[in-house]
Amino acid sequence: MPTLPKIAVFDLDGTLAETAGDLVGTLNVLLVREGLPELALEEARDLIGAGAKALIRRGFEAAGRELTPERHEALFGDFLEHYGAHLCERSHLYPGVVEALDRLEAEGFRLAVCTNKVEGLAVDLLDQLGIGGRFAAICGRATFPYSKPDPRHITLTIGRAGGDPERAVMVGDSRADIDAAKAAGIPVVAVTFGYTDTPVDQLGPDRVISHFSDLPGAVAELLSAQA
Pick the catalytic residue: 11, 13, 22, 173?
11
Phi and psi angles of residue 75, each rounded to the nearest 5 degrees, phi first = -70, -30
Residue 39 near residue 115, CB atoms below 8 Å: no
11 catalytic? Reply is yes
The answer for residues whose C-beta is within 8 angstroms of residue 177's C-beta and 6 or more apart is: 11, 15, 148, 149, 170, 171, 188, 190
- In terms of phi and psi (left: phi > 0; alpha: psi -120 to 50; beta: otherwise), the region of 35 is left
Query: Residue 25: which of 58, 49, 59, 53 has the closest Cα?
Result: 59
In terms of C-beta density within 10 A (0-12 exposed, 13-18 middle, 19 or more buried), how is residue 35 classed? exposed
Parallel, antiparallel or unpaired: strands 6-10 and 168-172: parallel
Residue 36 near residue 65, CB atoms below 8 Å: yes
Distance (Å, whole) CA 104 – CA 186:
17
Is residue 25 classed as helix, strand or coil in its secondary structure? helix
In terms of C-beta density within 10 A (0-12 exposed, 13-18 middle, 19 or more buried), how is residue 184 classed? buried
Catalytic residues: 11
